[in-house]
Chain A
Amino acid sequence: MLTANVGRNRLGRARVPRARRPYVARLTHWGDTVRRRLSWTGAAVAAATVATVGLSGCGASGSGSGGDARGPITFASGKDLTGAMPQLLAQWNKLHPDQKVTFIELSASPDDQRNSFVQDLQARSGKYDVMWDDVVWTSEFAAHGWLAPLDKAQVGGPGVLPAAVDTATYKGTMYGAPFMTNSALLYYRSDLVPKPPTTWAELQADCAVAKAHHMDCYAGQFAQYEGLTVNAAEAITSAGGSFLSPDGTKVTVDSPQARAGLQHLVDMFRNGDIPKAALTYQEQESANAFLSGKTMFLANWPYVYTAASAADSKIKGKFGMAQLPGPNGPGKASLGGIDLGVSAFSKHKQTAKDFVAWMQSESSQKILVKVMNQASVLSKLYTDPELTKASPYLPTLQKAELTAVPRPKTPAYNAVSLAIQKDVYAALQGKVSVDGAIKNLAGDLQQAIQSN
């Protein structure tokens, strides 16, 4: 009786009748024999075994083949926070009653979505015919042979933003249909700084205004996670640096430009323009810092617009959105977004290919912008008067997206991103000099792309 007096009566009563039953007696006998044979050592093994079970994993990789037939398909996406996805899919189902699409809603967390996809793809089950892939997964999934190649004329035509097409391209072939795109913008307090800064020097000069108002000057995503890769990439590419060569086979980060980019962030941390607390900021924490009226500038995705312009917002009517600043004029944003990939193990690939093209069509993309409040991959929707009325930042966003740079394109993206997060974070904390961090990063990136 391990728990003795705590619940003693309940346990005590339960034990007595049980022991009288013969079969249990036998059972107890057997178990008892085993237990006696089990030494403490055995117990330690057993306990340690159970402790590690949760940690073991297995998997296989490779590509398979499936028919090009038509028929019902599934479409798996991240959690549909807008509730509009079923509406969009219903339209397809009405047009194609014999090739219906079933909606599978996955977790809201991108990491969990990726795990679901990877598990299915490793098992080659083809449970997800069409997958909602974050732009940084496309290379990895394609390199594993998990995605069916798509026709560039169909899903990467001139009407689609070139940067978005680029994210879906691996070794010259398109493996995804750009569906949504995204890039960070600079939110600024228009009541305090009427004209947004376009260069880093102007940004730092404006920080004096923040100081005078006892506010923090600048916030972005600087916790050690994917958001830090995005922010670091923005600083480094704006200064003309890069992490990897365009084909992802060479490390190019060890350059004066990359040092200048990182130095900018480190300087802003050192002189307090970015508060120390920003080392814990993910998207939401940084947005809250701006929405509470305590921070003057915020780099974040366009979604913050909704909360900032809501009726009960503290900064309603007191903020504006501009392109991120750079060293000499507007900087380069990191490109986010979603590409729709067709599983290499899908049994109805032709339907799936038609479906991803249809999701990119103007009528579908209008629902995306109007109902889901996301940015389209079609250039012409950024100037559509009907849409700009609801989302006045669209023309600014388009400008940002025209110069936006995809994050490093490599099948080893996760290892690469983890290395960037680790080394940049150490520099922002002041634990490592900018020069040391860039050198470490060059070594870590080399290892990340080599070990594949």
Chain B
Amino acid sequence: MSSRSSTTDEPPPLVAPAARRRAKAPAVRKGGDGRFAFWLVVPAMLVLTAVIGYPIVAALIRSLSSDTLGESPHFVGFGNYADALWGARSGQFWDSVEVTYLFAAITIVLETAIGLGMALVMNQAFRGRSLLRGVVLVPWAVPTAVAAVLWKWSFNPVGIINAVTGSHVVWTGADWPSRIAIIVADTWKTSPFIALLILAGLQVIPHDVYEAAELDGAGAFQRFRLITLPLVRPALLVAVLFRLLDALRMYDLPAILTHGANDTTTLSILVVQSTLSELKPGYGGALSTLTFLFIFVTAYAFVRLLGVDATEAHTRDSRKARS
């Protein structure tokens, strides 16, 4: 691969792609006029404030008020939050939390494993590689709602899945079959995304590292475990972080496949149900704030436990490996 052989003798920056961009910037940065740039950015910031900031703040404020019919909303403090966390509706809320995290955990493990496999294949030089790359990306290009409808047909009791496997499972009529249907659809849909991010990570691994390892007598599995995995880890973690954020707010697939029936009501479905269908914007606001907190805490924990430290450690490790 020509792009690889042109790598300089300098050890390449083994950090996440975003960090690479940062590291390049100094060459461009001279005589910068922060104020001028500030005014250029102002219009965009104003739009963002209007379309992102305002709804969030409004939902936050609204989440502190009552939803009583026939009177204007009045301040109830954290009543709506208490309702969800340990009050009358806590059962429903914690069921959703459970199923949301269940989906996130299973789909991320499956998608990372499959995505890594796809990326490794796509990274090999062989005839028809660009065709394969294109084909693999097709599921990711299909809108989720469309994919959900396709899978709904496939999982119909008289659909193709039962016809091909010869089974008579009523896929969207019981708990685990429904969950499996959603997990299969999500994995099909999103593995290419992970593959793409991992592929980007694989391509910055210089070829000479592999050559050196091969000379030292490392087998294919050792090269994968000791070189590929540690070096691709930053990109892998970014991919998993993205997926984590995405999976925790999963809405379209269960909404279309099961309407939240059979214990597949994710947090997002519950928020929409409370806010739009039951017309309880206060409670719905509390739920969306709680969803935000859950996603934030999870992402933060993920980054703290694995992200930053791991990146640095592996930069060191890989240097050691190279010397």
Show the binding face of A for B, using Cβ within 8 Å: 1-6, 8, 19, 23, 25-33, 35-36, 40-41, 43-45, 47-62, 111, 115, 118, 140, 143-145, 223-225, 276-277, 279-280, 285, 411-412, 414-415, 418, 421, 425, 429, 447, 451-452
| Partner pick for A425 among B51, B245, B261, B280, CB 8 A cutoff | B261
Which applies to chain B's interface (DSSP): helix, strand, loop or mixed? helix
Q: What would 23 A/B residue contacts be, using CB atoms closer than 8 Å? A: A1-B21, A4-B203, A4-B204, A6-B133, A26-B32, A26-B37, A27-B37, A28-B29, A30-B32, A33-B34, A36-B22, A48-B245, A51-B245, A52-B292, A55-B268, A55-B287, A55-B292, A57-B59, A58-B285, A59-B279, A276-B173, A280-B173, A414-B277
Chain B residues near A51: list those with CB within 8 A.
Answer: 245-246, 248-249, 292, 295
**Residue of A with least CB distance to B156:** A280
Q: Which one of B97-105, B209-217, B222-230, B299-307 is at the A interface?
A: B299-307
Q: A143-B70, A224-B259, A280-B170 are in contact. Are A47 and B32 (CB under 8 A)?
A: no
Q: Would you call B9 an interface residue if the criterion is a C-beta within 8 Å of the partner chain's C-beta atoms?
A: no
- Chain B residues near A44: list those with CB within 8 A: 241, 296, 299-300, 303
Asked whether any CB of chain A lies closer than 8 Å to the CB of B40, the reply is yes
What chain A residues lie within 8 Å of B292 (beta carbons)? 48-49, 51-52, 55
Q: Is the CB of B55 within 8 A of A53?
A: yes
Instruction: Name the A residues within 8 Å of B121 (CB-CB).
Output: none
The answer to whether residues A144 and B70 also contact, given A26-B37, A27-B40, A58-B55 and a CB cut-off of 8 A, is yes
The smallest C-beta distance from A275 to any residue of chain B, in angstroms, reads: 8
Given A55-B291, A414-B278, A452-B69, the answer on whether A277 and B34 have CB atoms closer than 8 Å is: no
| Interchain CB contact under 8 A, B275 and A57 | yes
Give A57 to B307 CA distance when docked, in angstroms. Answer: 32
Q: How far is the CA of A47 from the CA of B173 in the complex (A)?
A: 35
Q: How far is the CA of A451 from the CA of B296 in the complex (A)?
A: 30
- Complex contact A2–B200 (CB within 8 A): yes
B276 within 8 A of A: yes
Given known A-B contacts A5-B3, A145-B70, A29 and B37 have beta carbons under 8 A apart: yes
- Inter-chain contact A52/B303, CB cutoff 8 Å: no
Closest A residue to B297 by CB, please name it. Answer: A48
Q: Which residues of B contact A28 (CB under 8 A)?
A: 25, 28-29
Identify which of A27, A118, A140, A451 contacts B88 (C-beta below 8 A).
Answer: A451
Contact A47 B245 (CB under 8 A): yes
Q: Would you list the 8 A-B pairs with minimal beta carbon distance, nearest first? A: A29-B32, A224-B261, A56-B59, A279-B173, A30-B37, A277-B157, A52-B292, A58-B58
Are A418 and B58 closer than 8 Å at their CB atoms?
Answer: no
| A5-B3, A56-B285, A58-B55 known; A25+B303 contact, CB < 8 A | no
User: Complex: how many Å from CA A44 to CA B22?
Assistant: 18
- Cβ–Cβ < 8 Å partners of B60 in chain A: 56
Measured CA separation A415–B261 after assembly (Å): 15
Please report the total number of B residues contacting A with Cβ < 8 Å: 88
CB distance A429 to B157 under 8 Å? Answer: no
Q: What distance in Å separates the Cβ of B78 from its nearest Cβ neighbour in chain A? A: 16
Residues of B within 8 A of A224 (CB): 258-262
The reply on B124 being an interface residue by CB < 8 A is no
B58-74 interface (Cβ within 8 A of A): 58-60, 62, 67-70, 72-73
- Contact partners of A6 in chain B: CB under 8 A: 133, 196, 199-200
Pairwise interchain contact B288-A55, C-beta atoms closer than 8 A? yes
Q: Which of A8, A59, A62, A414 contacts B281 (CB 8 A)?
A: A59
With a cutoff of 8 Å between Cβ atoms, the chain A residues found around residue B36 in the complex are: 23, 26
Return chain A residues, CB-CB under 8 Å to B260: 224
Q: Do A29 and B55 touch across chains, with their CB atoms under 8 A apart?
A: no
Q: Is B288 a contact of A52 with CB atoms below 8 Å?
A: yes
Separation in Å of the A440 CB from the closest CB of chain B?
A: 11
Q: In whole angstroms, what is the CA distance A50 to B199 when docked?
A: 25
Task: Kindly provide the distance from the CB of B37 to the nearest chain A CB, expressed in whole angstroms.
Answer: 4
Known: A30-B38, A225-B259, A277-B170. A48 touches B28 (CB 8 A): no
User: B127 CB to closest chain A CB, in angstroms?
Assistant: 16
- With a cutoff of 8 Å between Cβ atoms, the chain A residues found around residue B268 in the complex are 55
Cα–Cα distance between A425 and B265 once the two chains are bound (Å)? 14
> Closest B-chain residue to A411, C-beta based?
B69
List the A side residues contacting B241 at CB < 8 Å: 44, 47
Q: In the complex, A36 Cα to B271 Cα: how many Å?
A: 35
- Shortest distance in angstroms between B181's beta carbon and chain A's nearest beta carbon? 11
Q: Give chain A nearest CB distance to B303 CB in angstroms.
A: 5
Residues of B within 8 A of A145 (CB): 70
Question: Contact: B303 with A40, CB < 8 Å?
Answer: yes
- Given that A48-B296, A276-B173, A279-B170 are known contacts, is A57 also in contact with B200, CB under 8 Å in the complex? no
Whether the Cβ atoms of A25 and B32 lie closer than 8 Å is yes
Find the A residue at minimum CB distance from B268.
A55
- Decide if B56 is an interface residue (CB 8 Å cutoff): yes
Given the complex, which residues of A lie within 8 Å of B34, measured CB to CB? 26, 29-30, 33
Scoring B22, B245, B273 by chain A CB atoms within 10 A of each residue's CB, the highest score goes to B245
Contacts of B300 in A (CB 8 A): 41, 44
Within 8 A of A (CB), among B181-198: 196-197
B37 with A57: CB separation less than 8 A: no
- Do A276 and B170 have beta carbons less than 8 Å apart? yes
| B279 contacts A3, C-beta separation under 8 Å | no
A385 to B21, CA, bound (A): 79
Closest to A447 in B: B88
In the complex, residue of chain B having the shortest beta-carbon distance to the beta carbon of A285: B156
- Asked if residues A32 and B29 are in contact (CB atoms below 8 Å), the reply is yes
Residues of chain A contacted by B296 (CB below 8 angstroms) = 44-45, 48
Q: Is B52 an interface residue (CB 8 A)?
A: yes
Chain A residues near B200: list those with CB within 8 A.
Answer: 1-4, 6
Q: Is the CB of B199 within 8 A of A418?
A: no
A35 to B: closest C-beta gap in Å? 6
Chain B residues lying within 8 Å of A118, measured Cβ to Cβ, are 276, 279
Q: Are A52 and B279 in contact (CB under 8 A)?
A: no
In the complex where A2-B17, A57-B288 touch, is A8 in contact with B3 (Cβ < 8 A)? Answer: yes
